[in-house]
Amino acid sequence: MHRCFELALLGAGHVAPNPMVGAVLVHEGRIIGEGYHQQFGGPHAEVHCIRSVKEEDRRLVSQSTMYVSLEPCAHYGKTPPCADLIIHHQVPHVVIGCPDPFKEVDGKGIGKLKAAGVNVEVGILQKEALDLNKRFFTFHTAHRPYIILKWAQTADGKIAGDDRSRLLISGPITNRLVHRWRAEEASILIGTNTALFDDPQLTDRHWNGPDPIRLVVDMQLRLPSSLQVFNRQVKTIVFNTLQHREEENLLYYQVTTDTELVPQIVHALYQLKIQSVLVEGGAQLLQSFIDSGYWDEARTITNDQLVIGAGLPAPVLKEAAVTETTTIMTDRVQTFQKIKH
């Protein structure tokens, strides 16, 4: 099952809104086939797994155990049902990491396999299997995107200077890590001041992967069109109070002022079928997500050797637990999970 997870992660950034899935076929302790979901709309992990079996091992498929990180699908979508494929090849034993909550599956794949006489085990390394596809599960069970907050701060807890000028806090290796994070998420969100003062590209140009959809809050549409986020090279959504219209690679999404902004953004992303969002700033927008309770994970980069004194304070997390700490040169990278009650 651990090998299934390793394979599944190879599809990160390429399979959304589908989940990442890995599959391994084992005969008497020997792996004879393995595969993963590589591209949205393409064959699923189980298909690649069976296709990978060498000709001389084909006869062993009907005597083997298939391990798969997520319940095989039972419906016709962009591809035929994987449960049918397993039954067709007479795989006698299937071990599943966790069930699939997607309404078109949701136990139907397991049921179909059992009805065909397949011996099915469910819940092997289930916690790890659920964590692997936390974005997919959050979207389909909580009906909202998975929300990750991210910021870099100095040793004395500042994210910018007094004049809001761009402050280079993290090192080049950590910056490359941030671009990997961007490639793993469906979208990336910034506020008006971050767009105006930093003029970021919000791409993952230092990592090989798809660029996230760019999201910008610009309530009064006061940002100049010369900013890099408006270059039309990546799909961009602008949350504002003045208009709702769409043009080439640019969507103006209208929100209202009579209710909180964060729940409106979260609802809009769900309606737009965007499964995850990386909130990169600024401080006010990040704090709004924290205060509203709409966040799942936070990642902070602290340069432990940089002290600037006066400046813009970093956001303050509430009800958070550190789950991981890594040191990269002078940068301390920490991951926090929201404590759920």
Catalytic residue chosen out of the listed positions 28, 34, 46, 55: 46
Question: Which amino acid would we find at residue 41?
Answer: G
Q: How would you classify the pairing of strands 65-70 and 93-98?
A: parallel
User: CB-based contacts of 19: which residues, under 8 Å, 6+ apart?
Assistant: 37, 70, 100, 133, 136
Listed residue (54, 43, 57) closest to 11, CA to CA: 43
Torsions phi, psi of 215, nearest 5? -120, 130
Q: Are 23 and 35 in contact (CB under 8 A)?
A: yes
Task: Supply the angle between the helices 261-271 and 283-292 in degrees, to the nearest 10.
Answer: 80
227 DSSP 8-state letter: S
List the alpha helices (DSSP H) in 145-276.
172-184, 192-198, 261-271
* Whole-angstrom distance, CA of residue 87 vs CA of residue 92: 8
Name residues whose C-beta falls within 8 Å of residue 15's C-beta, 6 or more positions apart in sequence. 21, 37, 38, 39, 40
Residues 223 and 286: their CA atoms lie apart, in Å, by: 19
Annotation marks residue 46 as catalytic:
yes
How far, rounded to the nearest angstrom, does the alpha carbon of residue 175 sit from its chain's CA centroid?
18
Closest of 149, 159, 147, 148 to residue 302, by C-alpha: 159
Residues labelled as active-site residues: 46
